[in-house]
Structure 1
C-alpha cells in the first residue's frame, strides 16, 4: 500500500509535489548511483530523512526550490537538486548534497518529485518509487520525521545553540515544544540564506 502524498503548495498549485517517506532503506547506494549517473527516471529530490525534522522544513525548501525554478533563478541543474540545495544554510551546492542528499549509508529516505509536466502523475511516481526503493514506506507525518531525525546533527549543520534538554541529550525523545523550537530556528536559518 502506497502512502505517497500529493501536496499542492498554495502559491504554486501548478507544481504539485509527490512526497514519500521510507524507513530502513536497504538500497540507498543504488538510488545514489542513479542520481550520479544522471538517470532521468530517477530525477527526484532524494533526501536523507535524518536531517529533515518536519513537514514544514521540507515544504519550505520545496517552495524555495520550485519558486526559483518557476522564476528561472536556479543555481543547480534541475528543480529537484534545487530543493535539496534549499535545505542548506549556505550557498555551497556540493556541501548541501553531502549534508542533505542521500549517501550510501542512508537508512531513511524522503523522496520528493515535482509534477512539472502533465506526464508526471502521482500514480506513475508512486509505482516507480514502489518498484525501486527497498524499505518500509510510512506516512509522511511530523511524528514519523521527528522519529528518524538526528537532532544533534541538525543543530550542528545549522550551527544552532538551541540545546536539547537533559533527557533528550541522553537519547530520550524531545518534547513537542523542543522540536518546534528547533524547527523554528532551522526555518529561520533557511530563510536567511542568500538574503
Structure 2
C-alpha cells in the first residue's frame, strides 16, 4: 500500500510517497543497494522501530524537501537528507545508523520523493514506484497509519535516541495514549531544534 501525500508549502509537483512493510526478509539486500548507490533504489529506507508517528516522517520529508528547494542539502540526495532529518543531532553517520535500514531491520518505512528535474522532467509515477517496491521488498505491506506504526515502534529506542529518559513528568502520565502523544511532540520538537 503506497500512500501519496502532498505537503503544504511545497510545489504541487513535489510529491511524497510512503509505504510501510512488516516482516522484511531481504533487508540486507536493500541495505546493500543503498550502499552501492544504485539509482533504482533511491528511497529513504527507515527502520520503523524508531518511528513514533506519521507526523515524524512527514516533518522529516518537509525538512528534506525544504533543503533541496533551497539548494542546501547536506547529504547526497533528498532521500538521505530525509533520514538525517529524523535525527535530533547533526551527526550524519549516527543518523544513518540509528534511523536508516540495517541488515537486521524487520519493519520498514519507505519514502520516495518525486519531483521534475532537468534530467527527468516527468518524475517516476506512483504506479511505477508501487510496482518496483512490490518486486523488490520481500515483506507484507501495511497501511501507513499511526496505529500500524505503533505496532513496530520500540519506545525504549525512541526515548534513548531523542533523550527522553529521565523525564519524571513524562513517566508520571498514566494514560498510555497521552504519554505517547507527549513523546511524539517531544520527538518533533527535537527534530525541529536540530542544529539550532
Q: Which TM-score applies when normalising by structure 1?
A: 0.92
Is 1:134 aligned with 2:138? yes
Q: Which 4+ stretches in 1 moved above 2 angstroms? A: 161-166
Runs of 5+ in structure 1 lacking a partner?
Answer: 169-173
Number of equivalences: 188
Deviation readout 1:103-150 (Å, 9 max, x if unpaired): 000000100000123231110100000000001100000001111000
**Residue 154 of structure 1: CA displacement?**
0.5
How far, CA to CA, are the matches of 1:11 and 1:24 in structure 2?
35
Runs of 5+ in structure 2 lacking a partner?
Answer: 117-121
Matches within 5 A, 1:23-62: 23-62=22-61
3-state SS of the aligned residue for 2:6? strand
Matches within 5 A, 1:35-114: 35-114=34-113
How far, CA to CA, are the matches of 1:109 and 1:147 in structure 2?
12
**Residue 175 of structure 1: CA displacement?**
2.2
3-state SS of the aligned residue for 2:18? strand
**Residue 165 of structure 1: CA displacement?**
5.1
2:187 maps to which residue?
A: 186
3-state SS of the aligned residue for 2:106? coil
**Residue 4 of structure 1: CA displacement?**
0.4
